[in-house]
Structure 1
Amino acid sequence: MARLLIVGGFLAAVFWVYSIVDCAVQPATRHRGVPKGVWIAIVIIVPVVGGILWFTIGRRRADDQDARPYAPDDDPAFLRSINKKEQDARIAELEAELARLEDEGDAPDTRP
């Protein structure tokens, strides 16, 4: 019975330390609900329960970040639309230059 308590206490301590380290090293964007410092305090003050709360409620999974709204410069559709506009403007500019060169080519050559 004493061995079981020692092993259980050891496992709880390992889980507690792992929870603290995991909470501390995650970027702030991966913390849900409350700020990073509050999560660290919860995990430290309430050892096992705080770690369970951290892994079930507080830690945002990496695939959850894809659901966040994009900033305009991170949105692939917006970037494609900008590139399309820039391409259209560049094509129009090149067509105007080509037309100008064709008009110059029709003029007689006056070079000596």
Structure 2
Amino acid sequence: MARLYMLLFLIQVVLAACALIGCLSAEDGATRALPRIAWVLIILVFPLVGSIAWFVAGRPAPADGPQKGWLAGGGTGPRRPAAPDDDPEFLKSIDERSHRDDAALFQRWEDDLRRREDELRHREGDPPREGDRPEV
């Protein structure tokens, strides 16, 4: 008999945890019948009855159309990318920044090369001065 009570207690705890997680992850104003804070208090004070009430009467209404699974999401708004590397605008901005940085680096290299070539021409074209040592 003790095992049955333990099993029922574990089921109640798991049900309350699932209801609490579902309630806390619901969008503000999306819960039915009561505000979200009221549902949290009901679930915490009356775990079994509150959890069942949340699943029956409190969960946000499903979006129009068939659900495609719990990972697909149920929002009707535009889907946000899951990560920055999935966002095409972010990837485009990274690509543009990379091209801009590469062009700036290339321009600095060219300017440095021109400066060095000018210095070399200047040294070769000028006769050695009194203080300069001849190069061997």
TM-score, normalising length: structure 1: 0.53
Match of 2:30 in 1: 30
Q: Secondary structure at the match of 2:63?
A: helix
Match of 2:7 in 1: 7
Match of 2:48 in 1: 48
* Structure 2 unmatched ranges of 5 or more: 65-76, 78-136
Distance 1:17 1:60 in 2: 17
Q: CA RMSD in A?
A: 1.7
Q: Which whole-Å deviations, capped at 9, do the CAs of 1:12-62 have from their partners, x for residues lacking one? A: 111111111110111124201111111111111111100111110111232
Match of 1:61 in 2: 61
Match of 1:92 in 2: none
Distance 2:61 2:35 in 1: 16
Residue identity (%):
29
Distance 1:8 1:35 in 2: 29
Give the number of the structure whose residues are more often helix, by fraction.
Answer: 1
Distance 1:35 1:26 in 2: 11
AA paired with 1:17?
A
Distance 1:30 1:18 in 2: 17
Distance 2:58 2:19 in 1: 11
AA paired with 1:50?
G
Match of 1:98 in 2: none
Instruction: Show structure 1 runs of 4+ deviating over 3 A.
Output: none
Distance 2:27 2:57 in 1: 16
The structure having more radius of gyration, on CA atoms, is 2
Q: Secondary structure at the match of 1:63?
A: coil
AA paired with 1:23?
C
TM-score, normalising length: structure 2: 0.44
Distance 2:10 2:47 in 1: 13
